[in-house]
Amino acid sequence: LLMIYWVGPDGQQRGPVDFATVRALIMTGQINPGTMVWKTGLPSWVPSIKLPEIASLFQYTNIENATPPPYPE
């Protein structure tokens, strides 16, 4: 089942978009945890962080900029 979303970056409704597009918008900073999103079954728009499948993506957004601690000897 392909999940389809509508998103509201910059207060502008966009959609329908698929999950891969949502992920790309998060990675490029166009969707943040407070960006409003909607999908079938939701009674109203909610902040993206409230949807578990989207919330899980935010932990990876800064992976390119992450600096690990020194490698153990």
pLDDT at site 73: 86
Smallest Cα–Cα separation from 8: which of 28, 29, 38?
Answer: 38
Provide CB contacts within 8 A for 53, sequence distance 6+: 3, 19
Amino acid in the structure at residue 46 = V
At residue 7, what are phi and psi to the nearest 5 degrees? -125, 160
Tell me the pTM. Answer: 0.76
pLDDT value of residue 72: 86
Report the percent of the chain where pLDDT is more than 70.
86
E-assigned strand segments in the chain: 4-7, 14-18, 36-39, 46-47
Radius of gyration of the chain from Cα atoms?
14
What pLDDT is stored for residue 10 in this prediction?
83
List, for residues 40-64, the tens digit of each pLDDT value.
999 999 999 999 999 988 876 555 5
